[in-house]
């Protein structure tokens, strides 16, 4: 199975400027992401960036495509890559976020294989069971519900589903085993990326600030499956990086 990984990498993050270049065990963060994509067996790995500082570093270990500074999402950045590189419509593209340096390679491979095995679906993504009660109520942890056939029904920052019989009595208490956390790893065919960015933004995605809701709004299908490997938490802030580095120093063998 052939698939291409595109890693959107932006320098001007409001919470962590220069994040893709942060040093982790002697490598910039974006290089770790590239390594995971190569381990997954990607036929091609592209770093898509709008910043020369990232490009000059990333071109040492990956194909780099410069993109516009006006994109509001990684998917829009990938659409420009598809157009500029003339990527064939049937190519499977995996969008791997640049702030997850230790995303498991088998998860990258899994999401690409899921899309290939489900040709009626426009996208594929992953989830994992929530194990801590606090995460159920954390709006930064996106919850997902899906059908018996693995079709995503809805994504939300709210408690989803709502366990009526118990939560009506104790709305701050929940059984975490009933909930799934969405993992922000996406696969789609190049033709669908172009279709997606042609849509007007939807009310739901703007309310929840979740771009995958645009696909559901326009009746497109997203396949979802439990991840083969538990993914580590992404790095959003310098404190997240400090926590990661501390965990790595406590484990000399790394992750």
pLDDT of residue 255: 46
* pLDDT block averages, 10 residues each, the chain of length 255: 94 80 92 96 97 96 95 93 97 93 95 97 97 90 96 96 79 81 96 97 95 97 96 78 75 51
Distance CA 216, CA 154 (A): 8
pLDDT of residue 16: 81
pLDDT of residue 213: 97
Contact (Cβ atoms closer than 8 angstroms) between residue 79 and residue 194: yes
pLDDT of residue 57: 96
| Alpha-helical segments (H) within 28-73 | 29-39, 52-58
Contact (Cβ atoms closer than 8 angstroms) between residue 197 and residue 191: no
Q: Which residue has the tokens 């199975």?
A: 1
Contacts of 184 (CB under 8 A, 6+ apart): 97, 125, 142, 234
Distance CA 75, CA 186 (A): 10
């Amino acid at each position: 199975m052939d698939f291409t990984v595109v890693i959107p990498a932006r320098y001007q993050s409001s919470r962590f400027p220069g994040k893709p270049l942060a040093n982790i065990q002697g490598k910039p963060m974006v290089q770790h992401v590239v390594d995971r994509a190569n381990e997954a067996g990607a036929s091609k790995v592209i770093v898509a960036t709008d910043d020369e500082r990232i490009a000059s570093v990333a071109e040492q270990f990956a194909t780099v495509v410069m993109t516009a500074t006006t994109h509001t999402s990684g998917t829009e950045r990938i659409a420009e890559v598809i157009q500029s590189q003339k990527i064939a419509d049937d190519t499977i593209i995996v969008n791997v976020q640049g702030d997850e340096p230790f995303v498991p390679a088998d998860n990258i491979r899994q999401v690409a294989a899921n899309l290939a095995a489900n040709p009626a679906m426009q996208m594929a993504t992953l989830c994992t069971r929530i194990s801590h009660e606090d995460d159920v109520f954390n709006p930064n942890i996106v919850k997902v519900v899906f059908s018996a056939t693995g079709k995503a029904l809805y994504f939300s920052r709210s408690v989803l589903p709502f366990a009526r019989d118990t939560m009506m009595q104790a709305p701050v208490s929940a059984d975490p085993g009933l909930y799934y956390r969405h993992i922000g790893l996406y696969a789609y065919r190049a033709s669908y990326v172009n279709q997606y960015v042609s849509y007007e933004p939807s009310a739901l995605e703007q309310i929840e600030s979740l771009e995958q809701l645009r696909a559901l709004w326009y009746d497109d299908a997203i396949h979802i499956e439990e991840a083969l490997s538990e993914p580590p938490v992404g790095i959003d802030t310098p404190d997240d990086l400090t926590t990661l580095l501390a965990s790595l120093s406590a484990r000399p063998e790394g992750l």
